[in-house]
Amino acid sequence: MSKIIVFGGSGQLGQCLQQVAKEKNITEIEFLPEEQANILNPDILEAVFAEYKPTYCINCAAYTAVDKAEDEVDIARKVNKDGVANLSKLCKAYDTTLIHISTDFVFAGTGNQPLVETDEAAPISVYGLTKLEGEQVIPAYTEKFFILRTSWLYSEYANNFVKTMLKFGRERDELRVIWDQIGTPTYAIDLAGCILSITETRNQNFGIYHYSNEGVTSWYDFAKVIFELGKVDVKVVPVRTAEYVTKATRPTYSVMDKTKAKTQLNVEIPYWKDSLQKCMSRL
């Protein structure tokens, strides 16, 4: 049985991993919240690895405040790059396979074709840049790693777009939602299933992978489906990105091609609306 440790165990994806591990009856897994195992503290990390001697290390810990990162460059870089370097070194020392979660924000998002893993990464925000730097330090320290880039993550846990839309939709008569940013929502429960299937099958096809749900949508259309499924009566007004000013620039088109994940990780990927329906029924 593989011993698994999860950093960022109390965040959205960490909570989804807890749920899926329970469903799959995976018991040799430890969820480590930030206060117990901060990835910026090498001494604590060393103690954790020495205690558990893990087969797998799943890193869900990250600085994810996209707009705030524009002002907090140093702390974003510390968490998203230096923390990842700390884990990578220990994974090498303990012969542990690292499974690291990254983002579609590593791309500029200026094209109109689904992005493959070998496409040029050219982030347009501090968040995207520091996540890319985190990806780049991993191979410098260890060969046994999986990097999973994901997008538009939501679930019944923590704060996310689905829960925010439902809250605002019930409180307001009208919502303005961006229609000209195109991507794919990802149900974090599905991503958790993909991560744990890597550990269960002991897959050795190391490298970078794209994982989101299947299909394509805009934030506007995503919101419309949320309200439809949630039976929330609210007027949704489509707006352009230019009308909705944020500190950080977002990719305009970040649809990812999942062919590599489907063939080399042997996972089936659900259509985004089907997964959303599942999440909404749980909410």
CB 53 within 8 A of CB 3: yes
Buried b (16+ CB within 10 A) or exposed e, 141-165: bbebbbbbbbbbbbbbbbebbbbeb
- Is residue 127 flagged as an active site residue? yes
Kindly state the helix (H) or strand (E) to which residue 13 belongs, with its residue range: helix 12-23
CB 73 within 8 A of CB 247: no
- Tell me how far CA of residue 183 lies from CA of 104, 112, 126, 149, 257, in angstroms: 9, 10, 20, 13, 11
CB 151 within 8 A of CB 256: yes
Buried b (16+ CB within 10 A) or exposed e, 181-206: bbbbbbbbbbbbbbbbbbbeeeeeeb
Catalytic site residue from 56, 127, 141, 187: 127
Q: How far apart are CA 154 and CA 84, in angstroms?
A: 23
Q: Hey, what are 184's tokens? A: 């794919």
Kindly state the helix (H) or strand (E) to which residue 221 belongs, with its residue range: helix 219-230
Q: How far apart are CA 12 and CA 4, in angstroms?
A: 18
CB 144 within 8 A of CB 98: yes
SS3 call for 8: coil
So which residues are the catalytic ones? 127
